[in-house]
Amino acid sequence: MTTGVDEVKGTVVRAFGNLLQVAFEGSLRQGAVGYVRLGDIELKSEVIEIAGGIAKLQVYEQTHDIRLGSPVRFTQRLLEAELGPGLLGGIFDGLQSPLEEVAQVSGVFMERGVYLPPLSRTERWEYVPVAHVGSLMHRGETLGTTQEGRFTHRIMVPFDCYGTYKLTWVASTGLYGLDDPIAKATDSEGRELTWTMVQRWPVKMALQEGMRVKVEEVMSTGLRIIDTQFPIARGGSFCTPGPFGAGKTVLQHHLAKYSDVDIVIVVACGERAGEVVEMLREFPHLIDPHTNEPLSTRTVIICNTSSMPVAAREASIYMGITIAEYYRQMGYSVLALADSTSRWAQALREMSGRLEEIPGEEAFPAYLASRIAAFYERCGVIELRGGGRGSITLCGAVSPAGGNFEEPVTQATLAVVGAFLGLSRARSDSRRYPAVDPLISWSKYIDLAGRHLESKVEGWSGMVRRVQKLLIDADEIRRRMEVVGEEGTPINDLVVYLKGEMFDFVYLQQNAFDPQDAYCPMERQLELFRLLYSIFETPFEFADRDEARSYFLELQSRLKNMNYLAFKSGEYEQAMKQLEQTVHFEVAS
């Protein structure tokens, strides 16, 4: 490690867990990165408070062996993400160390103090200049491009360059390494700058250039309960709270595989190491159903497992969203998934406790809600300066203890997101997957989705709302039946209940592990929904309750089977016709 001239030096005067107090001389910046020296390694840390010659430092690593007097050097830089070609397919920890390379250098058990450059310095990229010598350039504007798999990766004027720059030299088309100059420019005061294909950005600040515009498109997921009942907007936000084991991680993995976006950023934050390792093993082999290419070619994974240092958890969330913002600036639609934001909030709570801040609800810091809001605000659609749009859709899993949604993290999240997909224990216990509970979930994007689908199915939004009402009524009748029994329930009520159950079974439930069932394209959702809706509108005359029950049970198993077969054979239209005919049958008594 080199020691820059403007580095500030200090020594540890107090240590409390991963919170250090460091006496220093000179001028320090809030959020600056510092390194604590321990023998021949250095531990990365961040300044979180400065007062009277003492800096409080949060260390991103296990802190054993740190002692009074341990030397510290402070840089003038904040915790940054390295941005450039080669991020896609990458697997990083919360500080953006590439995990595979770290494992190679330090063995399977990650050593402390090993920080490798996130992006490869040996790989070379075919660079094609776009901007010409003499052009006036501004932050975020395209200097040139390189091909990152099937994505055109724009090399942009670094986002920390705020003025007007005149290009004085551009590299010609050819192969370049990340540290090779690809353009030179002078600023308004005549100083010359040299730009490469890589730039850095402080992760805790939103990276944005261009105008924020309204969300207008729907992001389809292939899950009927989401796309039909609780749709998600591209550039919008949503959360998936649920108790342990309800299916949050399975749902996020589904979204990573099937969502209709260009690029996916997965942040595994504070989850069990075994689960994360499983994901890392599985992911490179999965095929993107939209392009038939390996999913890893469009995915960046950031992981901070529960066995890694807590402090880097906070960083992992910001690292993920910063990389998402970088690709948004190239005009891509990005989905960023965080699993789970509760573990991130716990990291905040631990730190706040050590700082002896006045605690808020459940000992979370008083600024918890504003941190959560600031995080979700980083989603959105941006109209780029050079034309075109990019978006970030943001999804956070929340894992409240005992599945109690009344706790601060869930509540603060609900206040800011555009859709709430609540997973319930009751549904996962009865294996109704995905366990998104239609009775508690909501989406502010229903009308937006409706505007898109009205042209295909007239009256779509109204139909969705009526089915939602049917589900609520069916649930109420179910509760009543639990008390009075089926005999005490009017036959018309029983029919409403049976319709609700049928819709749940045939439409809302999908098995994530069944390749035929896991993904349902929008066109098929529309047809199946329309068919079910027409069944709901049919006036039934049943002789008695038994007949009603038999009819719906038979119908739902026929619908499920035929729908399934249709998917398998690919002869969907033909099967759909058969499905329509199957509605009219005699119940064998």
Binding-site ranges for Mg ion (CB under 5 A): 248-249
| Closest by Cα among 169, 374, 339, 348 to 240 | 339
C-alpha span between 46 and 61 (Å, rounded): 11
Is 270 a residue that touches ligand ADP (CB under 6 A)?
A: no
Are 324 and 81 contacting, i.e. CB atoms less than 8 angstroms apart?
Answer: no
Is 247 a residue that touches ligand ADP (CB under 6 A)?
A: yes
C-alpha span between 210 and 82 (Å, rounded): 21
Is 405 a residue that touches ligand ADP (CB under 6 A)?
A: no
Is 162 a residue that touches ligand ADP (CB under 6 A)?
A: no
Sequence-ordered alpha helix ranges (H) in 379-459:
408-414, 425-429, 446-453
Both tokens of 343, joined, read 């573990």
At residue 203, φ and ψ (nearest 5 deg) are -65, -25
Shortest spacing between CB 395 and ligand ADP, in angstroms: 13
Which of 54, 250, 491, 562 is the binder for ligand ADP (CB under 6 A)? 250
Residues 433-452 close enough to bind ligand ADP by CB under 6 A? 433-434
> Which lies closer to ligand ADP via its Cβ, residue 173 or residue 511?
511
Shortest spacing between CB 186 and Mg ion, in angstroms: 52
* From the list ligand ADP, Mg ion, none, partner contacted by residue 513 (C-beta under 5 to 8 A by kind): ligand ADP
> Which lies closer to ligand ADP via its Cβ, residue 22 or residue 508?
508
| Closest by Cα among 346, 473, 487, 464 to 409 | 346
| Ramachandran quadrant class, 558 (left: phi over 0; alpha: psi -120 to 50; beta: rest) | alpha
> Which lies closer to Mg ion via its Cβ, residue 58 or residue 252?
252
> Which lies closer to Mg ion via its Cβ, residue 407 or residue 493?
407
Which of 34, 242, 408, 450 is the binder for ligand ADP (CB under 6 A)? 242
C-alpha span between 463 and 466 (Å, rounded): 5
From 259-267, 349-357, 442-450, 505-513, span contacting ligand ADP (CB under 6 A): 505-513
Is 109 a residue that touches ligand ADP (CB under 6 A)?
A: no
Which of 44, 139, 224, 248 is the binder for ligand ADP (CB under 6 A)? 248
**How many whole angstroms from its chain centre is CA 464?**
26
Is 249 a residue that touches ligand ADP (CB under 6 A)?
A: yes
Is 511 a residue that touches ligand ADP (CB under 6 A)?
A: yes
**Binding-residue total with ligand ADP (CB under 6 A):** 13
DSSP-assigned states of every residue in 305-368: -TTS-THHHHHHHHHHHHHHHHHHTTT-EEEEEEE-HHHHHHHHHHHHHHTTPPB-GGG-BTTH
Give SS3 for 33: strand
Both tokens of 523, joined, read 């066109």
> Which lies closer to ligand ADP via its Cβ, residue 255 or residue 494?
255
Rounded to 5°, the CA angle 520-443-392 comes to: 75
Shortest spacing between CB 270 and Mg ion, in angstroms: 10
Give SS3 for 161: coil
Are 47 and 30 contacting, i.e. CB atoms less than 8 angstroms apart?
Answer: yes
Which of 177, 181, 245, 360 is the binder for ligand ADP (CB under 6 A)? 245
C-alpha span between 449 and 18 (Å, rounded): 47
Shortest spacing between CB 252 and ligand ADP, in angstroms: 8
Which of 244, 426, 456, 561 is the binder for ligand ADP (CB under 6 A)? 244
Shortest spacing between CB 511 and ligand ADP, in angstroms: 5
Shortest spacing between CB 268 and ligand ADP, in angstroms: 11
> Which lies closer to Mg ion via its Cβ, residue 242 or residue 380?
242
Put the strands of the sheet holding 174-176 in their side by side order: 151-156, 142-148, 125-129, 174-176
Are 62 and 309 contacting, i.e. CB atoms less than 8 angstroms apart?
Answer: yes
Is 246 a residue that touches ligand ADP (CB under 6 A)?
A: yes
From 71-79, 193-201, 509-517, 528-536, span contacting ligand ADP (CB under 6 A): 509-517
The closest residue (CB) to Mg ion is: 249
Residues 415-434 close enough to bind ligand ADP by CB under 6 A? 433-434
List residues near ligand ADP by CB under 6 A. Answer: 242, 244-250, 433-434, 511-513
